Structure 1
Amino acid sequence: MKEEVKIRYPSYIKEFKCIGGNCSDNCCHGWEIHIDKNTFDKYVKIQNNIFDTDILENIIVRKNCKNPNIDYGQIKLNNETQCPFLCKDNYCSIHANLGEDYLSKVCTTYPRIINKIDDCYELSLNVSCIEAARIILLKEEGITFDYSRELISNNYVIAKEINTNTYEINDTNYKHIKEIRDKSINIITNRKYKLSERLFDLGLFLENVRRKLCYNYDNTVQFVDEYDIRSNKVKFQRDINDYMLQISFYKGILEKLAASKFFISDNFSEIIDKVMLGFKFTEDKSLIENSQIYLKAYTILDKEVFEPYSYIFENYLVNHMFKELFPFSENDIVYDGYIMMLVRLSYIKFFIAGYYLSDGKITIDNIIKIIQSLTKEIEHDETYLKHILTHIKEYELDNKRFAKILL
């Protein structure tokens, strides 16, 4: 069943088409595949002779189900950690034999992300899909947004939904999500400034927004509408030694990730090995002893990668901000969303630096693959990023000084 609705979407959305079995990083492998209750009930009625085995033998009912409309059941992966309904040609046998109507909401939706703010549906893509990542990140002209009215199926997962007109939302920070997010995206896409300067200015803007939300709530919208980054008297200046503080911070985070015996993507362990090797983390040396190597690498990358290809990182940020309802991506605290976005971006750059140190070079294809693979590992883990935010708060790093270090 479909209904006509108002949709907002980024400019890249109509360029995407799943390439199925030809994909270099199959999405039917390595992670939990949830089945909604409605789809599960359809499977109960299926004749057993359609598949080699009873379809229900490969599905379990989740005891810790959070929402029966999304994760009532879960497909049991085979010994190769693949979906058992994946054909030899890497196409879905459920889709081939029964049609799209028999796919679960999760399988129908991915890599699309659908949110709803008030009466408007928002459609975007997740860069954890390699095909989506290429389309999103390689748009040199940047990402813009359009509106339309279209028919949409009800067999999709709505990731986040906010109605700013309800009583529950009216006196919360979420009330101003649309205005704050749009202004934030405008700041990040202002190419009159370097990306690091834009991120710094975004922090100043959000710090002011935080004060308005706390002390002058009723004037927040007016402040956001009239805000002009040219009025900022504080300008960003990079301290190259901050890169050493970044490396120290991410070394511990990476080691916890590397300790995992299982990764979703087959090649992610290879990427981690390169990063560990590049930074010489396996050697019995302190970070200070290798500091000149690290700083030289970051200096070269700033000049040859991060600045000339800043549109890749800008596109990553804009896509994140739109699909995660920035700055409320973590909770209702504006600055938490900002800090964690910087954590994600500088973690990506940390991986790029380690990869470069290992190979002595890095290509655009390498960068896209690093962003896609890292996103797939950490964004689809329910606890990894939450633990990082908890760590940041425990050590009182949720402040402007730490934000500047991450830039």
Structure 2
Amino acid sequence: MANKTRKVLQPQYMKKFHCIGADCEETCCGGWRIVIDKNTFQKYRECPDKDLRKQLKQHVTRIRTDADDTNYAKIKLNPDDGSCPLLDGDKLCSLQRKFGEEFLSLTCTAYPRLTNIVNGVSEKALTVSCPEAARIVLLNPEVMSFDETEEDASVRNTNGKIMETDDFKLAHTGLRYFWELRIFVISLLQNRAYKLWQRMVILGLFCRNLDQLISEGKVPAIPKLIGTYLDHLDSGVFRDELNTIPNEFTIQMKLMKEVADQRIFSGGVNLRYYECFAEFLEGIQYISESKVEDIGKNYVEAYEKYYRPFMETREYIMENYLVNDVFSNLFPFKGGKQVFDNYVMFVVNYSMIKLLLIGMAGLHKEKFNTDHVIKLIQSFAKVISHDENFLKGVIELLKENNFNTMPYMAILLKS
């Protein structure tokens, strides 16, 4: 009898990934929140090994807020170094060593693979919080493309979200046009006739209009909105409006430094990210005694002399980052209830990465290279992108200061 299979949609890069084990510069087993699915939690409560069962009861606790079957419990990490308490003396997983991979949670089994289920199809991607995954995802200069394939239905890897856009209950919501919107967003972000910051601004204008249609109950007008934007992209209508956006590097630097500070001083910072942040500060000579004007001047100099010349021929790195994020996080519908809120978070992540890389480029100067970029994006993803509480706090910070507007997003993006 043939094994049952299921459909899979994934970027072509998935074929290239394999864990490099001890050669990796990071560890998967620490430095962030490790969640446990419900089935694994129940399995741990019945662990046949008495000593391990005692450890599991001590270190694995229920999640009491916003829990679901995937995010049902969490592992309490060692307070001294943030490592998983279930690692043995050889820094290997004691559970896997004793019982095999089948005893691991979905998160630990699948990482760095992320799988969402959309209309019954498994959608697989890699998260760039893994160094090797980051290299594979980001460093391909070709436009990211996707494959339809199949896998054995017994594979345990559903560690993301489940979305049914064909549900008749969603007929009057934006999710009705999820696929049309996804295709438009990805094609826009890969439209190399425009600079990447311009694509991001156009996306913001689109998300603002999309939110308006949804709030006014005009969901059937979404395909027409998409068509209008496609026509305008082809005709170049947006270019005049894009040229009116001012360069405000000092404002970019001040806001994003404040956002980054929130995470740096909230505890539990990954060492690799801390090293990158320190390099950013040194690169723009950011010290407490410095005047804002002087820091802004250093920031602009680092951008003009080192970051821009490097990135002009490597804009595909950030393009790949954004497209991968759109696909794996079901943009624009994952996160806040408002599409524009999700766009704001999208911009903040991009802008923080750019800010930090500019400072790092200012430090390393002509020696600034893709190794620095991968280190920053990987550690940023591990520290920032996997921290839902921090991301919610950023949105609140922006709203409190009235920064969550399209004009302000455009200033953050302009470069």
- Structure 1 length as normaliser, TM-score? 0.90
Distance in 1, matches of 2:97 and 2:215, equals: 54
Cα drift, residue 275 of structure 1: 1.8
- Matched AA of 2:248: D
Aligned pair partner of 1:379 in 385, 399, 410: 385
Q: Specify the SS of the correspondent of 1:267.
A: helix
Distance in 2, matches of 1:70 and 1:321, equals: 21
Q: Which residue of 2 aligns with 1:219?
A: 221
CA gap 1:152/1:129 in 2 versus in 1, 3 angstroms: farther
Q: Which residue of 1 aligns with 2:254?
A: 248
Cα drift, residue 222 of structure 1: 4.1
Q: Which residue of 1 aligns with 2:70?
A: 70
Q: Which residue of 2 aligns with 1:330?
A: 335
Contact kept, 8 Å, 1:9 with 1:147, in 2: the verdict is yes
CA gap 1:367/1:238 in 2 versus in 1, 3 angstroms: farther
Per-residue CA deviation, residues 62-90 of structure 1 (Å, 9 max, x unaligned), is 26264463344433433432223324544
Per-residue CA deviation, residues 334-387 of structure 1 (Å, 9 max, x unaligned), is 222222212111110100111122333421100111011011111121211111
Count of residue correspondences: 404
Distance in 1, matches of 2:154 and 2:305, equals: 48
**1:113-262 residue pairs with structure 2 within 5 A?**
113-153=114-154, 155-215=156-216, 216-225=218-227, 227-228=230-231, 229-235=233-239, 236-237=242-243, 241-262=247-268
Range with bigger deviation, 154-163 or 288-297: 154-163
Distance in 2, matches of 1:91 and 1:233, equals: 57
Distance in 2, matches of 1:302 and 1:326, equals: 28
Structure 2, unmatched stretches of 5+, are none
**1:253-292 residue pairs with structure 2 within 5 A?**
253-263=259-269, 265-292=270-297
- Matched AA of 1:119: G
Cα drift, residue 39 of structure 1: 2.2
CA gap 1:58/1:82 in 2 versus in 1, 3 angstroms: farther
Contact kept, 8 Å, 1:20 with 1:90, in 2: the verdict is no
Distance in 1, matches of 2:293 and 2:195, equals: 29
Contact kept, 8 Å, 2:8 with 2:149, in 1: the verdict is yes
CA gap 1:186/1:218 in 2 versus in 1, 3 angstroms: same
Contact kept, 8 Å, 1:274 with 1:358, in 2: the verdict is yes
Contact kept, 8 Å, 2:245 with 2:410, in 1: the verdict is no
Cα drift, residue 100 of structure 1: 1.3
Cα drift, residue 280 of structure 1: 2.9
Per-residue CA deviation, residues 154-204 of structure 1 (Å, 9 max, x unaligned), is 633442222122243221222222111110100111222222222233233
Aligned pair partner of 2:402 in 384, 396, 405: 396
Q: Specify the SS of the correspondent of 1:344.
A: helix
Distance in 2, matches of 1:363 and 1:11, equals: 25
**1:6-21 residue pairs with structure 2 within 5 A?**
6-21=7-22
Range with bigger deviation, 28-37 or 134-143: 28-37
Range with bigger deviation, 284-293 or 229-238: 229-238
Cα RMSD over matched residues? 2.5
CA gap 1:217/1:102 in 2 versus in 1, 3 angstroms: same
CA gap 1:3/1:96 in 2 versus in 1, 3 angstroms: farther
